[in-house]
Structures are given as C-alpha cells and as structure tokens.
Homo-oligomer: A and B are copies of this chain.
Amino acid sequence: MEALAVLKIECASELEEALTYYLQESYALAGLESRRRSDFEIASQRHDSTFVDLTKIENLPEDLELTAYLPVDVDQAQVCAQLQAKIRELAGYGLATGKVRVYFEAQALTNWETTWQENYPVINFSRHLAFVPVWQTYQPAYPDQAVIKLNSGLGFGTGEHLTTQLALLAMERYLTRPVKLADVGTGSGILAIAAAKMGQTDILATDISSQAIESARENATLNQLTTIRFQQGNLLEGVSEKFDLICANILAEILQEFSENLASYLTENGVAILSGIETRAYPALDEKLQKLGFKVKLHLNEERWHCLVVGR
C-alpha cells in the first residue's frame, strides 16, 4: 500500500462542518479524523469515578483538530494556501476561526492500514445492525443482526458516525414495509446499503462527488447488493421521481437548501429523515422546516447531533 500525507488543521470548532465538507469535496481524501477539546471535556465529566486530567492528555487540541489523509504526492504548499484562503472566506461569513494552524506532518504515514484499523472499529450500534470494516472479523451476539461490511477510506469522522447511527435508528422506525427510498448525499453508501440489507429494493442514492459514488458502489458490491441505483448529482436535482422516504445525512447548511424543494420530491404521506444537524444549527433548520409546512414526527438527539423525521 502507498504512503499517505498527513494534513493537520487546528482552528475554532465552529469551522468543523464547513472545513469537513470542503476537504471532502476538494481532495482525494483517504480519511478524515476530528478531535475536539469539548469532547474530551465531556468525557472527563462523564466518568466521575475515573477523573480525567485534561492537562495529561497527549496533544489535547486547543479547540478543534482535523487530521486529513491525502495522497503522498499532493502539492502540500498549494493545499495549505487553499485552506488558509478557505478559512479567510469563512471568517468573512462571520464564523470565528480561532487560532489557525494548517500544516503537513514532516513524516508521511506508511503504516496507515494499522492506523485505520485503530480508527475504524466495529460499530455494533443497534440490535439489528452493525458496521464492520472489511478487514475485521466480527461475530455478532445474535445471528439475526445484519452485518454491513465497509471498506476503509470512508472520509468520516466520529461525529458523522453518530449522525449516521441516528439516521439508521429512524430508518428502523420507518422501514416497516417496502417503499420508494432516496439516500441524498450517500457518501460511502452506508444508509442506502443498510436500507437494502433491511429488505428495501427500490433505492436511489445520490452524491455530488463522483469519488463518493465510486466508493459507495464498491461498498454495495462488498455487501453483494446489486439493485441500488447510484447516481452522481447535487441533492435530487434533475430527479423526476417522488419518494416515500428520503434520507439525507448531510450538513445542516445543505439541509436548509434541500428543504426548500423537499416537498416536491415526497409522495403524499412521504417522510424525510434529516440527519447531520449540530445543536448550533438545529434551531434555524427547525424554524425553516416549520415555515415550509413540515411537522417534526420524530426527533433524535445524541451528544451534539440531532436527527429529525419530518412529514406534512
């Protein structure tokens, strides 16, 4: 396997969503990790019995630290300049940038397979579903738990994993019968693949990124699923079908845009599962959905992430 260049970005956590999106869209990421000081602080409060001394955690980020893994031959100076420009642009939108550092580590990562294996453990997140990296062996506690195999290089951080899990919980609530289903911003294809594993046969999955579509197709093949229709495109633009269930696990800012046309893609009793909403972004989206005539049917919240099921 080839080596990977390791890019570090330190800045205010307000930039996390925008930078995550920018990195995923702009570069051929092999992976992305996010560490936030607040997560460690929450963890330290959570375990009263095992007091965590924050001053003793190795490389505790000042606020947010993103680590992106890029092809080793990437033009490092250009990437750093582009990111600095992007951060200045975000500051222009009124976002706090904090103390900004953008740099590549001097040493490329050569043992990245091991690193992935540490960063992407089995995610045994629900009685009936688990995600298992393809290199892992996993014995479910129950024979009827569906195991979804995933390849590495998902480009997902821990936070995004949680939004995926909430979206899947909501799907379990709503997929009690076969429906016409769309997965918008499918990324590595997780939601579409899980839906197919749960017996859905009419699935359209879209993503603006051709790399994502390619990765999603690979993951579908890995799970012996051949019926999902993967299609490159922005949200559901140009799609003339209507859906009983639309899942969109994407940035809240994009959900804001998507919600404007959402009704036109839903069947009369159709519902949409909207995930990837950070606490900070939730009130504005909730207000917008209400103005558009949507009712929140189910609201899931875990840590700083929210998932809404909305219908009319």
A198-B127, A293-B48 known; A172 vs B175 contact (CB < 8 Å)? no
Could you tell me the distance between the alpha carbons of A172 and B130 in the complex, rounded to whole angstroms?
A: 12
Q: How large is the interface on A (under 10, 10 to 19, 20 to 34, 35 or more residues)?
A: 35 or more
**With a CB–CB cut-off of 8 A, which chain B residues contact A312?**
46-49
A173 CB–B CB distance under 8 Å = yes
Of the candidate stretches A30-38, A205-213, A296-304, the one touching chain B is: A296-304
26 contacts between A and B (CB under 8 A): A42-B295, A46-B295, A46-B312, A48-B293, A48-B312, A124-B176, A125-B173, A126-B173, A127-B128, A127-B172, A127-B199, A128-B128, A130-B176, A141-B176, A141-B177, A141-B178, A141-B199, A142-B199, A144-B144, A145-B176, A165-B173, A298-B300, A298-B302, A299-B302, A300-B300, A301-B301
**Restricting to A98-148, which residues have a CB under 8 Å from any CB of B?**
124-128, 130, 141-142, 144-145
Contact A301 B298 (CB under 8 A): yes
CA distance A190 to B48 in the complex (A): 33
Report which of B141, B297, B302 forms a contact with A302, defined as CB distance below 8 A.
Answer: B297
Residues of chain A touching chain B, judged by Cβ–Cβ distance below 8 Å, are 42, 45-49, 124-128, 130, 141-142, 144-145, 165, 169, 171-173, 175-178, 198-199, 268, 293, 295, 297-302, 311-312
Residues of B within 8 A of A145 (CB): 176
Task: Tell me the minimal C-beta distance from A141 to chain B in angstroms.
Answer: 5
Known A-B contacts A199-B141, A268-B49; the reply to A175 vs B299 at CB < 8 A is no
Bound state CA distance, A49 and B52, in angstroms? 55
- Bound: A134/B25 CA distance, A: 54
The CA-CA distance from A312 to B171 in the complex, in Å, is: 28
Closest B residue, CB atoms, query A295? B46
A173: B residues at CB distance < 8 A: 125-127, 165, 169
Chain copies in the assembled complex:
2
How many angstroms between the C-alpha atoms of A178 and B198 in the bound complex?
22
Given contacts A299-B300, A299-B302, A300-B299, contact A171 B46 (CB under 8 A): no
How many angstroms from the CA of A174 to the CA of B42 in the assembled complex?
20
Chain A, interface SS category: mixed
A301 to B, closest residue via Cβ = B299
Given A127-B173, A299-B302, A301-B301, 7 more pairs with CB closer than 8 A: A42-B295, A47-B312, A141-B176, A141-B177, A145-B176, A298-B300, A299-B301
A281 to B: closest C-beta gap in Å: 17
Write out the residue numbers on chain B whose beta carbons fall within 8 Å of the beta carbon of A172. 126-128, 169, 172
A45–B295 CB distance below 8 A: yes
Q: What CA separation (Å) do A298 and B177 show in the bound complex?
A: 26
Contacts of A141 in B (CB 8 A): 176-178, 199
Contact assessment for A126 and B293 in the assembled complex, using a CB-CB cutoff below 8 Å: no
| Chain B residue nearest to A299 in the complex (CB) | B301
The residue in chain B whose Cβ has the minimal distance to the Cβ of A130 is B176
Bound state CA distance, A45 and B297, in angstroms?
Answer: 13
